[in-house]
A and B are shown apart, each in its own frame.
Chain A
Amino acid sequence: DAGVTQSPTHLIKTRGQQVTLRCSPKSGHDTVSWYQQALGQGPQFIFQYYEEEERQRGNFPDRFSGHQFPNYSSELNVNALLLGDSALYLCASSSPPGGTPSYEQYFGPGTRLTVT
């Protein structure tokens, strides 16, 4: 059973560019959350997708946007990249068994984004 997968593993971009990160959830999971982990910090919640809609959003600017596809995979897009966007971006998936939200989030290995 494949866990949460993310691509690419590493990415280098220039200030002002745009980037798209991808995530495939664990089999059977339909909810995807994205987190940003700056160096030496804990992960910070960006947003969560369920049924192809953004269900909750953290304190991140509109430059951060996302999408969820019918197969539950997800993309994180960041526009107008800033140096401060350099971080490890983590995707987590979870599933509401029987309609009750599951709080067990399974994390992928992350995408390391470097903005120069």
Chain B
Amino acid sequence: AQSVTQPDIHITVSEGASLELRCNYSYGATPYLFWYVQSPGQGLQLLLKYFSGDTLVQGIKGFEAEFKRSQSSFNLRKPSVHWSDAAEYFCAVAPNTGFQKLVFGTGTRLLVSP
């Protein structure tokens, strides 16, 4: 069965500092990979996705993620965090078999300190 692990429940970063959120997945083949962001009381917004090709993908709001097949990882990064980035971040995978079911990690809450 597919699973997604986000080992950090909370992360605090100073405004302007760099950010890396970790995501590891377990799946027999390379799945499709996603990062979503959820602000309090809101739905989920897609930040970026990886289907195939270049392993470094760019997303919205200045985020990027790197797929590393050897480590089964898809870590999210941002060079300089803004206070508005404070939110919950979810990594998700979907099987590349034609169905669109997303399997999510438990999320990482990002706190941004002044």
Contacts and interface: CB of A to CB of B under 8 A. Distances in A.
Interface string A74-112: 000000000000000010101000000111111111100
Interface residues of A, number: 27
Interface residues of B, number: 25
B43 A42 contact: no
Contact of A105 (B42, B98, B102, B105): B102
B43 A103 contact: no
A107 B88 CA distance: 15
B106 interface: yes
A116 to B, nearest CB: 20
B46 A55 contact: no
Interface of A: 4, 31, 33, 35, 40-45, 48, 55-56, 58, 90, 92, 94, 101-110
